[in-house]
């Protein structure tokens, strides 16, 4: 269970931006060959695909209502990536360890994804785009910082991710009314729903 802290941190970060997590872990392993980072994440094809998807998310995440559509699509992707990274971090551990790390990675990713998606719906209840761009950039910086820090300091990074997750969930509770208003606006402006 040595990888539990790194799994929790990367799971939290995957719920916000899964492709950036894969990029940071893969590039770190390619540059420094970290033993705790699975070698599969450093493969060129994995890095290229993660880079491409991160660039798409980087743009989509800055545009009001498009970001919420992207979050809706990512509801299945982000927790899955968190779970897969958890299983990969378990390595050759027993199947129980792999299962536990998969659940920790996926569960943490799902919770942080809900915080991200809910806070974005709240932000979208305001008509101006500046807060959207600021929130997206702050998320990208937080993911980059926590995952990079977690490679060498997994326990401290897990504590930071745990505090961030708890604060995010508390924030969602208090912003529930604003989130519902953002949800209603997104449903009216959703480009996918409008075409159906």
Three-state SS for 110? helix
Q: What is the pLDDT of residue 146?
A: 95
174: which 2 tokens?
């208090």
Quickly count: other Cβ atoms within 10 Å of residue 52's Cβ: 11
**Residue 153 carries which DSSP code?**
-
- List, in sequence order, every beta strand (DSSP E) within 33-173: none
Count of CA atoms in the C-beta half-sphere (13 A) of 66: 12
CA dihedral over 7, 24, 37, 146, signed as positive or negative: negative
Average pLDDT along the chain, 196 residues, taken 10 residues at a time: 83 94 94 87 94 94 85 90 87 74 88 88 75 89 94 92 92 78 67 47
For the chain, how big is the Rg over CA atoms in Å? 17
Q: Which residue has the tokens 């807060």?
A: 131
Q: Which residue has the tokens 């075409």?
A: 195
- The residue extents of the domains of the chain are 4-191
Q: pTM here?
A: 0.83
- Between CA 63 and CA 66 the distance in angstroms is 5
Q: What is the pLDDT of residue 117?
A: 86
Q: What is the pLDDT of residue 3?
A: 84
Q: What is the pLDDT of residue 186?
A: 63
């Amino acid at each position: 269970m040595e990888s539990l802290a790194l799994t929790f941190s990367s799971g939290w970060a995957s719920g916000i931006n899964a492709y950036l997590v894969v990029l940071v872990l893969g590039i770190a392993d390619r540059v420094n060959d970290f033993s705790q980072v699975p070698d599969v994440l450093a493969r060129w094809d994995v890095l290229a695909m993660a880079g491409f998807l991160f660039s798409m998310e980087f743009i989509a995440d800055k545009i009001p209502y498009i970001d919420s559509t992207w979050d809706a699509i990512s509801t299945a992707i982000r927790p899955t990536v968190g779970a897969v990274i958890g299983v990969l971090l378990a390595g050759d551990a027993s199947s129980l360890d792999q299962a536990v790390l998969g659940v920790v990675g996926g569960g943490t990713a799902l919770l942080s994804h809900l915080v991200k998606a809910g806070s974005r719906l709240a932000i979208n209840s305001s008509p101006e785009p500046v807060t959207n761009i600021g929130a997206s950039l702050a998320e990208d910086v937080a993911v980059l910082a926590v995952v990079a820090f977690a490679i060498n300091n997994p326990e401290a990074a897990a504590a930071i991710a745990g505090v961030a997750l708890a604060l995010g969930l508390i924030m969602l509770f208090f912003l529930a009314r604003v989130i519902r208003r953002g949800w209603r606006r997104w449903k009216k402006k959703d480009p996918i729903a409008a075409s159906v």
